[in-house]
Amino acid sequence: MTTLVAAPAQVRGRTEVSDRVVSKLARVVAGEVAGVSLENQAGGLPWGGSSGGTVSGEFATIRLTVAIAYPAPIRTTAERLRQHVASRITELTGLGVSRVDLKVASLTVTSQGSGAGAVS
């Protein structure tokens, strides 16, 4: 019986993750944070607007435009979002995250009995 041994990673080849993949992943994982939703800036298209990501070498920079549920504390929610996105991008791609820039474009207000609405 022959046993196959994997060559070291540096010998096997190189994996590149595109800006587009990082952008899409960032949007998906941002939605995993309670009280946060993505803002659709370009005619309602989920990939439009100022959200996105850029890969430079072994690091990614993320930009997200979000709505935060009112009355959640904005700074606390933003920090939780930054940490979650950076952690998940590293976990899923192996890239480090140099920064996560957030634009809080609106607050999502939910009042009992009246449904939800956005306040800009």
CA separation, residue 25 to residues 8, 53, 60, 87, 93 (Å): 28, 9, 11, 12, 9
Q: What's the pLDDT at 13?
A: 80
Q: What does each of the 120 residues of the chain score in pLDDT, given as a tens digit?
A: 677 777 776 777 888 999 999 999 999 999 999 999 887 655 444 444 578 999 999 999 999 999 999 999 999 999 999 999 999 999 999 999 999 999 999 999 876 544 455 555
> Considering just the CA atoms, what is the radius of gyration of the chain in Å?
18
Q: Determine the Cα–Cα distance for residues 75 and 8; give it in Å rounded to an integer.
A: 43
Q: What's the pLDDT at 110?
A: 72
Q: What's the pLDDT at 113?
A: 43
The answer for 20, left when phi > 0, alpha when psi is -120 to 50, beta otherwise, is alpha
Q: What's the pLDDT at 40?
A: 64
Q: Are 38 and 105 in contact (CB under 8 A)?
A: no
